[in-house]
């Protein structure tokens, strides 16, 4: 079922209100493919405002598929440093290598072939097909899901199931401007139909929205509650150097260096703990300085004065910053 009225309203709003994002600039087809791929990988679980400076730096230093495919991992991780979820950039490089070797430096333009590439699932494949190739796909990210839930006032577990949302998205219709329409929907969700305090009076489809008519804007949340975990971080010093070890605790920080640490039960006193909010947990950290130590086989001594020159996880740098404040 097509809904031209809704489609046209959203596109008109988008034409007059879209953000000027660096990956949206008019470019050659090959740049459009590359810029869209990089931005979509970066935007996975990361906000647009955070991504923009990283994207600009990344593109400046790694401007195309071939350069990406041939960039060594150490340099690649340095350009990604601070964005987290480092498996994304590793998969991005793997995808670039396949694109260069198998597809003549061009992205494939079918759902099946795109989903066969590392790090690309239904959403990213749909986003690429619509944005890059103007195919009639509506990428179903959190923003678009929220619009569907609100406009149709979907509440129950059955109504808000992924299967039902996919079925209901046809209510949004299609457009021969598929590239713009996909981005318009994501933009509408990000700027207007926000999770909390939506700007309903600025919404182009307010008259079509059942939730607005019912004055009922709450969205059933599927977010998993983050668990609290507690750690002791052991700080070994030798002159101006601090000991870091190769990570074997956290899968998402493969091969990175971290402070020696051990998980503990919840302590009675949390007053002096450092709290770091991670993607899947709240880390509560007590820092313990160790004067005597034995040799650690997977350890490296890092010069404190050159700490920022190393490619390190964000939470390692935050622990170091906290350590410096307490010295």
Buried b or exposed e, range 263-273, using 16+ CB within 10 angstroms: eeeeeeeeeeb
Three-state SS at 238:
strand
- Concatenated DSSP letters for 253-310? GTT-EE--EEEEPPPS--TT-EEEE-SSEEEEEEEEEESS----TTEEEEEGGGGGGS
| Tokens found for residue 2 | 């097509």
Residue 83 CA neighbour count, 13 Å, CB half: 31
Closest among 188, 152, 183 to 167, alpha carbons compared: 152
Residue 107: alpha-carbon gap to chain centroid: 21
Distance of alpha carbon 284 from alpha carbon 286, whole angstroms = 7
Distance of alpha carbon 83 from alpha carbon 58, whole angstroms = 12
Three-state SS at 292:
coil
Catalytic residue from among 40, 81, 145, 187: 40
Phi, psi at residue 12, to the nearest 5°? -65, -45
289: which residues sit within 8 A by CB, 6+ positions away?
235, 237
Active site (annotated) includes residue 40: yes
User: In Å, what is the CA distance from 319 to each residue of 100, 141, 274, 303, 308?
Assistant: 40, 33, 8, 15, 13
List, by residue number, the catalytic residues. Answer: 40
């Amino acid at each position: 079922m097509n809904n031209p009225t809704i489609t046209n309203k959203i596109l008109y709003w988008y034409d007059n209100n879209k953000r000027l994002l660096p990956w949206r600039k008019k470019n050659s087809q090959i740049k459009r493919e590359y810029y869209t791929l990089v931005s979509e990988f970066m935007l996975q679980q990361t906000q647009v405002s955070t991504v923009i400076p990283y994207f600009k730096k990344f593109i400046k230093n790694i401007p195309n598929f071939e350069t990406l495919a041939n960039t060594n991992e150490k340099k690649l991780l340095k350009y990604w440093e601070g964005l987290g979820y480092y498996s994304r950039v590793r998969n991005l490089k793997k995808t670039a290598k396949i694109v260069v070797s198998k597809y003549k430096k061009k992205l494939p333009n079918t759902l099946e072939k795109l989903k066969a590439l590392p790090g690309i699932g239904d959403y990213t494949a749909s986003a690429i097909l619509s944005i890059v190739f103007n195919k009639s796909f509506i990428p179903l990210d959190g923003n678009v899901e929220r619009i569907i839930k609100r406009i149709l006032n979907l509440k129950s577990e059955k109504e808000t199931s992924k299967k039902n949302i996919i079925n209901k998205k046809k209510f949004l219709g299609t457009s021969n401007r598929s590239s713009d329409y996909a981005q318009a929907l994501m933009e509408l969700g990000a700027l207007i139909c926000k999770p909390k305090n939506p700007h309903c009076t600025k919404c182009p489809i307010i008259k079509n929205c059942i939730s607005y008519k019912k004055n009922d804007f709450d969205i059933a949340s599927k977010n998993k509650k983050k668990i609290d975990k507690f750690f002791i971080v052991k700080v070994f010093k030798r002159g101006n150097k601090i000991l870091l070890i190769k990570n074997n605790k956290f899968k998402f920080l493969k091969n990175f260096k971290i402070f020696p640490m051990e998980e503990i039960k919840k302590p009675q006193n949390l007053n002096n703990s450092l709290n770091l909010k991670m993607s899947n947990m709240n880390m509560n950290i007590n820092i313990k300085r160790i004067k005597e130590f034995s040799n650690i086989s997977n350890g490296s001594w890092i010069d404190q004065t050159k700490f920022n020159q190393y490619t390190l996880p964000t939470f390692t740098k935050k622990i170091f910053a906290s350590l410096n404040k307490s010295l």
